[in-house]
């Protein structure tokens, strides 16, 4: 499964809504969506942007793509910082409007999207939508969602993430190249290539060791892999550097352990840690582009929502804003 970094589009005034629509259509065509799907993308992003301009503060749209073999889809995440939607159920019905418009925005987004979810409170609203093929649909094993956003002012992200599905096991990998910009991106690309090329069934410690050797000659990186064993209800985790990992059960958080070091340069120890993964549990991995002081208790009901929605809220509320930022959230498919 291949993931590209998200583009961040500010949407605070009407002309930016048109810009967002054009960028989204270009991205859709770039990943090979046909004219019908590209048209849906344009409509979805237009409705998102229009709502942000009319109703929100500090509106942004994040555009990313997900490729799984020949299947591709576009992911759009709309973020704002309030005032929130007072009656979300009514706003999802066509014909209801608080701004004198036809009131078809959220309903249209939901109808046109492969994936749709929304969470709103006084602190703001996050809406996620996907348009495209089967790459964005649950595969019967896991639901997952992730954001990878370059540092402001950079064209490429020095972070990255990937997921590999094997029989009974899913492996989630997150990497953060040292620093930011092209040098960090080079290290992240090398780490991702090593992860994808590793032999099936390779244990998590050996996976990180393999990445360590692959990064020699680069500026180095932090990385971690979480192996979710659906049969044994376990998570096996190994990491080096500043990738944070946690298992969330009913919004209670258990942090996973990474060792200090820089892959490709100095690593003193790589070890595997094992954690229970009960039904309903969620795994979160993120780079240090997010602070570690987040708590899902502050968001009632969020832990049960789509992982991309969870990732969007964590990015919005806990992103540092001065580094590349990646957050990946995984849960069992319903």
Q: What pLDDT, in 10s, does the model give residues 115-136? A: 999 999 999 999 999 998 665 6
pLDDT at residue number 69: 74
pLDDT at 139: 56
The average pLDDT across 170-199 equals 97
**pLDDT tens digits for range 67-77:** 877 788 999 99
Cα dihedral 106→111→117→118 (10° resolution) = 10
Model pLDDT, residue 138: 54
Percent of the chain with pLDDT over 90: 83
Mean pLDDT score of the chain, rounded to an integer?
A: 91
pLDDT over 80 (residue 54): yes
Q: Is the pLDDT of residue 95 over 50?
A: no
User: Residue-wise over 16-27: b if at least 16 C-beta within 10 A, else e?
Assistant: bbeebbeebbeb
pLDDT at position 94: 57
Per-residue pLDDT at 167: 85
Would you say 175 and 223 are in contact if contact means Cβ atoms under 8 Å apart? yes
Residue 80 predicted with pLDDT over 80: yes
pLDDT class of 157 with cuts at 50, 70, 90: very high
Backbone angles phi, psi at 159, to 5 degrees: -105, 170
Distance CA 170, CA 237 (A): 12
pLDDT of residue 102: 36
Q: What domains does the chain contain, in order, with CATH numbers?
A: 2-136 (3.30.565.10), 142-332 (3.60.40.10)
Tokens of 71: 């299947």
DSSP conformation class of 278: -
pLDDT value of position 2: 67
Position 100 scores a pLDDT of 39
188 φ, ψ (degrees, to nearest 5): -65, -40
Which tens digit of pLDDT belongs to each residue from 216-264? Answer: 999 999 999 999 999 999 999 999 999 999 999 998 999 999 999 999 9
If one compares 138 and 1, the residue with the highest pLDDT of the two is 1
Taking residue 321's Cβ as centre, other Cβ atoms within 10 Å add up to 9
């Amino acid at each position: 499964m291949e993931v590209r970094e998200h583009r961040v589009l500010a949407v605070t005034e009407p002309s930016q809504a048109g810009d967002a629509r054009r960028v989204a259509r270009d991205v859709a065509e770039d990943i090979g969506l046909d004219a019908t799907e590209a048209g849906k993308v344009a409509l979805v992003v237009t409705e998102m942007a229009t709502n942000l301009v009319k109703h929100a503060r500090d509106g942004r749209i994040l555009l990313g793509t997900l490729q799984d073999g020949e299947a591709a889809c576009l992911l759009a995440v709309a973020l704002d910082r309030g005032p929130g939607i007072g009656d979300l159920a009514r706003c999802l019905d066509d014909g209801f409007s608080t701004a004198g418009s036809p009131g078809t925005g959220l309903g249209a987004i939901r109808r046109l999207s492969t994936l749709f979810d929304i969470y709103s409170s006084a602190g703001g609203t996050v809406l996620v939508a996907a348009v495209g093929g089967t790459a964005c649909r649950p595969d019967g094993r896991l639901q997952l969602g992730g954001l990878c956003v370059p540092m402001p002012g950079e064209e490429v992200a020095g972070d990255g993430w990937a997921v590999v599905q094997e029989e009974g096991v899913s492996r989630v990998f997150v990497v953060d190249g040292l620093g930011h910009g092209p040098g960090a991106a080079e290290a992240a690309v090398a780490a991702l290539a090593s992860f994808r090329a590793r032999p099936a069934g390779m244990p998590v410690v050996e996976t990180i060791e393999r990445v360590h050797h692959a990064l020699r000659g680069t500026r180095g990186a932090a990385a971690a892999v979480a192996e979710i064993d659906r049969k044994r209800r376990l998570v096996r985790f190994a990491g080096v550097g500043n990738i944070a990992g946690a298992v969330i059960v009913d919004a209670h958080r258990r942090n996973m352990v990474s060792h200090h070091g820089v892959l490709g340069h100095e690593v003193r120890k790589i070890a595997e840690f094992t954690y229970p993964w009960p039904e309903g549990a969620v795994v979160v991995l993120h780079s240090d582009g997010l602070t570690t002081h987040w708590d899902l208790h502050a968001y009632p009901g969020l832990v049960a929502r789509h992982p991309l929605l969870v990732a969007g809220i964590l990015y919005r509320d806990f992103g540092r804003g001065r580094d590349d930022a990646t957050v990946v959230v995984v849960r069992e498919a319903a």
